[in-house]
């Protein structure tokens, strides 16, 4: 049935070319500041494409929109719209609604429908290759940028890995999401590739985002990637896949351990980030002065308390609105100058805890579906890659508010693939 259904759904070559272009623009916008125009155009291309696909295939697709998946997403969108209306800055919140949520859910819908096609494994993998190549090129751009700023000194290149991120216009935290998305896909893809040249390409496309994270000392992303690969070693039964995951995890672990005990690693992982004496202080007032992790401990304690005082109300959507409203409530509090550094906490602050809990339920169902679906497909590498990313992103989201723009994009893309492929599989479709 799925094969017939896949052939009946019409996704034209023109629609795919439009979305490939949009994907390139979103990939660039994921890494660089001052790319708001590219972001609007990229999302607009996807929106135009999915609108065309829905019109062409409306009678075939309507039955899919009454599942628990779409009901939760619909409720989530309704709650978000409510807090656009209630926002003290409705226009700013509406822009955030579009860029942070609506257009990203449009991508969920696009990849859900694309995953129903039998040609997904031929057409869909292009999106991974595009993002992998963009990640690879951005890494080498940044290496050259630092090397140039260091007057071509190797020592300076090594010790200045985070010194020029702002000058290079690179989004420090948002860039970690597409890097982890790429790394988890290509490490899983390695297990099924037989062609030696492609195997080497896949290895490079796994290694380059991993090295980018290591070079710039993205601790939460490295921890999340490492944990997801480590857990996969216990979950995977297929010896071939387990061997590849072991190689990927070992390479990552060797680099992390080597860096952790080197002067370079100590500088980018600890000295430039945290004052350990203040971080482990028993006095909570010392935490905000301790650096990156200390500020997070402070933000979490204050923001959780603030959100629970008014669990059904929110500031309105958007970081800017969140900051303005919270600053007005507690102008003397340090927390008012920043956000919650947690995806779910930011959602609760902006749109109330019911909205955050609806999204959390959707996330947990998606994570569970990706795991059980992977088991039922006899450990298909693509589904493993999606499961690993969703697991890693969940861990990363505890340390950073990834509800914003392209930081959120790859969660919705992975979720769309999981639910679309799962529906196709359960209806009798085969995974190539």
Q: Do residues 175 and 213 touch, judged by C-beta distance below 8 A?
A: no
Distance (Å, rounded) from C-alpha 161 to C-alpha 178? 19
Distance (Å, rounded) from C-alpha 350 to C-alpha 366? 23
CA 349 to mean position of chain CA atoms: 20
Q: Do residues 376 and 197 touch, judged by C-beta distance below 8 A?
A: no
Residues 6+ apart with CB under 8 A from 148: none
pLDDT of residue 429: 62
Other Cβ atoms within 10 Å of 10 Cβ, number: 12
Residues 6+ apart with CB under 8 A from 247: none
pLDDT of residue 42: 95
Distance (Å, rounded) from C-alpha 410 to C-alpha 396? 13
Distance (Å, rounded) from C-alpha 32 to C-alpha 165? 10
Taking Cα atoms as reference points, which of 220, 240, 230, 216 lies closest to residue 177? 220
Distance (Å, rounded) from C-alpha 380 to C-alpha 378? 6
Taking Cα atoms as reference points, which of 251, 142, 234 lies closest to residue 186? 251
DSSP assigned state of 170: B
Q: Do residues 228 and 386 touch, judged by C-beta distance below 8 A?
A: no
Q: Do residues 272 and 375 touch, judged by C-beta distance below 8 A?
A: no
Other Cβ atoms within 10 Å of 329 Cβ, number: 13
Which pairs with CB-CB distance under 8 Å and at least 24 residues apart come from 363-366? 363/390, 363/394, 365/68, 365/69, 365/72, 366/390, 366/415, 366/418, 366/419
Distance (Å, rounded) from C-alpha 42 to C-alpha 103? 10
Distance (Å, rounded) from C-alpha 320 to C-alpha 20? 31
Side-chain half-sphere exposure of 409, counting CA atoms within 13 A: 28
Q: State whether the Cα torsion 253-254-257-259 is positive or negative.
A: negative
Single pTM value for the model:
0.91
Distance (Å, rounded) from C-alpha 402 to C-alpha 332? 26
DSSP string, 203-223: HHHHHHHHHHHHHTT-HHHHH
Distance (Å, rounded) from C-alpha 348 to C-alpha 342? 10
Q: What is the pLDDT tens value at each position of the chain, 432 positions in all?
A: 334 344 467 787 888 889 999 999 999 999 999 999 999 999 999 999 998 888 888 777 777 777 888 999 999 999 999 999 999 899 999 999 999 999 999 999 999 999 888 778 778 889 999 999 999 999 999 999 999 999 999 888 888 888 898 899 999 889 999 999 999 999 988 888 788 888 899 999 999 999 999 898 888 899 999 999 999 999 988 888 899 899 989 988 888 888 777 777 776 776 666 666 666 666 666 666 666 676 777 778 788 888 888 888 888 898 888 888 887 776 555 544 557 788 999 999 999 999 999 999 999 999 999 999 998 888 888 899 999 999 999 999 998 888 888 999 999 999 999 999 998 888 766 665
Other Cβ atoms within 10 Å of 387 Cβ, number: 28
Distance (Å, rounded) from C-alpha 407 to C-alpha 30? 7
Taking Cα atoms as reference points, which of 47, 215, 248 lies closest to residue 145? 215
pLDDT of residue 159: 82
pLDDT of residue 173: 87
pLDDT of residue 290: 61
Distance (Å, rounded) from C-alpha 108 to C-alpha 390? 14
DSSP string, 336-377: GGS--SSHHHHHHHHHHHHHHHHHHHHHHHHHHHHHHHHHHT
Q: What angle do CA 373, 376, 382 make, to 5 degrees?
A: 55
């Amino acid at each position: 049935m799925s094969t017939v259904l896949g052939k009946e759904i019409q996704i034209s070559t023109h629609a795919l070319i439009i979305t490939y272009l949009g994907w390139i623009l979103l990939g660039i916008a994921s890494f660089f500041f001052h790319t708001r125009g590219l972001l609007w155009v990229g999302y607009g291309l996807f929106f135009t494409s999915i609108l065309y696909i829905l019109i062409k295939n409306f009678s075939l697709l309507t039955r899919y929109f009454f599942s628990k998946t779409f009901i939760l997403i619909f409720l989530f969108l309704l709650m978000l719209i409510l807090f656009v209306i209630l926002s003290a800055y409705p226009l700013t919140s509406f822009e955030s609604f579009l860029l942070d949520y609506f257009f990203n859910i449009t991508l969920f819908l696009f990849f859900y429908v694309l995953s129903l096609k039998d040609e997904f494994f031929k057409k869909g993998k292009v999106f991974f290759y595009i993002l992998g190549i963009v990640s690879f090129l951005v890494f080498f751009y940044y290496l050259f940028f630092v090397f140039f700023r260091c007057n071509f000194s190797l020592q300076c290149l090594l010790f200045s890995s985070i010194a020029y991120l702002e000058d290079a216009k690179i989004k420090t935290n948002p860039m970690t999401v597409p890097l982890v998305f790429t790394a988890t896909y290509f490490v899983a893809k390695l297990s099924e590739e037989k062609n030696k040249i492609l195997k080497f390409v896949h290895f490079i496309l796994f290694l380059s985002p991993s090295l980018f994270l290591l070079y710039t000392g993205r601790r939460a992303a490295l921890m999340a990637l490492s944990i997801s690969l480590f857990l996969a070693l216990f979950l995977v039964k297929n010896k071939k896949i387990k061997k590849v995951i072991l190689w990927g995890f070992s390479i990552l672990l060797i680099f992390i351990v080597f860096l952790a005990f080197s002067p370079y690693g100590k500088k980018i992982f600890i000295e430039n980030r945290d004052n350990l004496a203040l971080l482990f202080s028993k006095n909570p007032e010392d935490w905000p002065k301790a650096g990156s992790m200390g500020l997070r401990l402070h933000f979490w304690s204050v923001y959780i308390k603030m959100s629970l005082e008014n669990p059904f109300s929110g500031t309105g959507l958007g970081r800017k609105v969140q900051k303005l409203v919270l600053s007005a409530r507690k102008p003397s509090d340090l927390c008012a100058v920043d956000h919650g550094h947690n995806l779910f906490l930011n959602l609760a602050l902006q749109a109330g805890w019911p909205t955050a809990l609806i999204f959390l339920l959707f996330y947990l169902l998606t994570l569970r579906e990706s795991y059980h679906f992977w088991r039922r497909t006899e450990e298909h590498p693509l589904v493993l890659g999606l499961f690993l990313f969703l697991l890693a992103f969940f861990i990363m989201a505890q340390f950073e508010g990834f509800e914003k723009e392209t930081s959120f994009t790859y969660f919705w893309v992975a979720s769309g693939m999981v639910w679309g492929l799962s529906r196709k599989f359960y209806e009798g479709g085969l995974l190539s």
